[in-house]
Structure 1
């Protein structure tokens, strides 16, 4: 956080009273509100070197162009030296300060029809469509440095390059290879906001005022749309199950694109890339939240805990199908002395999609099993299953009793590529435990499972009654 000394310097530069400063948020930037001449403004502090200043000038140049051509956006104000930025050094860290007019209106509220729903989605889409149409015509004024273009991410944290993270890391690399091969013509690629989510605009009488262009880059228009859709699904649904999320995503995109098409036409080819870009945003966000993680769960911040749920018994794998859309459930069964004795639960329709949209033919799963205890109560195991596909991610949690006598644990998983037809339940993952403090290697074959003392077995089951 910025020191009081630095905040005082910012107040002097933008000529406001330090007593009016109110802290708002701290994510990529520190954000404050202040009052000057009975008007509200936003102060943004970016912890970046002074070499980044030309990039901010490029950001501001584009915002001025958009506003001049009818986009409702927050304009910056100048310092006492008639500059758009002020640069400070505080405890060997460089900060770039920028101030903007505060937008009129309020943030979205998914429980308020005036602040969330089809009309807002259409206006949101229309605003982005206008921005993309203008982006095709935009020519930077006299700035010497342009905003960056899209590039592949570098995952430098060694803790995210091993174990179960490899599944998502490999998926990220694969998706980025596909993205990198996409055309970059002027009809599909240009300067985009790149973070136009519900917390980066205000709503006033259904009108959208966009702000925070700090992440703007040259990228694909369909990527910009996918980012909006991804965050709308994260924060705008009323239930967390996969079916609700998928239906909401379809409703949102239908209304959003209806507004978008009023200003800018997107061909069917590029509309088909939106689900891929949504999946890409989900994976990037996972790694972004954990970028500074030191590998110790005790040091996780609240946001990192929301992104990471890995316990000591954790595995990950990908499922992909070919052919007609199956209705597949993931059953979680308890085995004792080599026999299935009970069900811990089930996660239905892993490849869900409505009749209006083809389902994803690929889903990634991360499964975590952790033993917990509450003072004065019996121990229990918490099973967490995270599924990720083009419609977003979903986390399911199941709790079962745990026998303290089971002291040794081991995973049961197959790292080979397997192909199979689901004419009967197929074991895809498991964990087993013993009371002898010794653990033996086990695999997912029925013969091997018969030799386990206790096991938790995850199996795919085809629900034939709901096949199309």
Structure 2
């Protein structure tokens, strides 16, 4: 990172901090509360403590990603899940004026703030293989609850203004994040191989279709960092990327960054076992799991190549290099399926 980038980052963080301070002014009960940044990746997240033992999570959304009505749609889904399902989610809090979302403008840039209830727990440990495999059975069950609720409320959710996660917005001509071709470590030979895999993915998704039993409102980012383990419970946080996508994409996001680990097949089997307690998967759906996992992997290559934060610096070019064997195996297995 160059010096100019460092200066820009300081300015960005300063704006986030100002937005956080201004956001707390919307809550009379939090005027004396402490506010500490605990994460900065896409958004800035703060731990708020009111001095009386109550904790909250304040999210300052990154500029130019969501419109206010899109964040309000996320909030409507969270409230619906809380009221109509047993899933434990972090709930949005109304400010003194009754609104959930507030806009804060600095230098012609708008930052939206939202306050959420605090959930106890810790992220799963990817290095604890046995526990993780067991936890994925519970995660599969929870994910199926999400999808069952989505199907039951299908017509209601169709009016929501949220992004769509499909081939075009993930790997195609209109990527929401960035082009995987511009990821770290790309060479002409690697791009050619990955293009072949991408073409296969596209054809298989077209054949799979978007029936409402396969495609609807999903969390879209169930990676380990967005799960909280508390005893035998798994709680789900960070619905910032929720949108319309294939249900099996939620499985793919849950193995984000660990798709190359030797225990992947066991994680998938455990997830499917838990999922099937609520919703049965057809053989055609099970056969599509590798396609969704590789699509997500290529999407993450684009994310790493277009972001500069602690996670992307840690993964770097090596994440692309570790993808080669996965891509080659996928192409060898499915290259005759789309001819």
Q: TM-score, normalised by structure 1?
A: 0.58
| Matched residue, 2:222 | 196
Distance in 1 between residues matched to 2:87 and 2:105, nearest whole Å: 34
User: For the aligned residues, what is the CA RMSD?
Assistant: 3.3
Choose between structure 1 and 2: higher strand proportion: 1
Bigger drift between 50-59 and 38-47 goes to: 50-59
Deviations 1:41-93 (A, max 9, x none): 11111123597111111111111111222111111101121101011112332
Following superposition, the deviation at residue 139 of structure 1 comes to 4.7
Paired residue for 2:18? 5
Give the direction of change, closer, same or farther, for the CA distance of 1:139–1:20 in structure 2 (3 Å limit).
same
Q: What's the counterpart of residue 137 of structure 1?
A: 152
Aligned to 1:228: 254
| Count of aligned residue pairs for this structure pair | 303
Deviation at 1:226, TM superposition (A): 1.8
1:256 and 1:176 map into 2 onto residues whose CA distance is: 24
**Partners of 1:21 and 1:91 in 2: CA distance:** 23
Q: Are 2:295 and 1:280 aligned?
A: yes
Rate the CA distance shift 1:279–1:139 in 2: closer, same or farther, 3 A: closer
- Which structure exhibits the higher relative contact order, with contacts defined as CA atoms closer than 8 Å and separated by 6 or more residues? 2
Match 1:210 to one of 236, 240, 248 = 236
Give the corresponding residue for 1:82: 98
Gapped regions of structure 1 (runs ≥ 5): 235-241, 294-299, 311-364, 367-384, 394-468
- Pick closer, same or farther for the CA change 1:391–1:108 going to 2, 3 Å: farther
User: Match of 2:315?
Assistant: 306
> 1 CA distance for matches of 2:266 and 2:210?
28
Deviations along 1:408-442, whole A, 9 cap, x unmatched? xxxxxxxxxxxxxxxxxxxxxxxxxxxxxxxxxxx
Select the residue among 35, 42, 56 that pairs with 2:49: 35
Q: Determine which structure has the larger helix proportion and give its number.
A: 2
Question: TM-score, normalization: structure 2?
Answer: 0.78
Give the gaps of 5 or more residues in structure 2: 1-12, 331-339
CA contact 2:93–2:117 (8 Å) conserved in 1: yes
Structure 2 CA distance for partners of 1:119 and 1:160, relative to 1, 3 Å: closer
Aligned residues of 1:123 and 1:256 also touching (Cα < 8 A): yes
Q: Say whether 1:160 aligns with 2:186.
A: no
Q: Mark the CA change 1:112 to 1:169 in structure 2 (over 3 Å): closer, same or farther.
A: closer
What's the offset of the Cα at 1:305?
A: 6.8
Partner of residue 73, structure 2: 58
SS of the equivalent of 1:76 reads coil
State the match for 1:403 in structure 2.
Answer: none
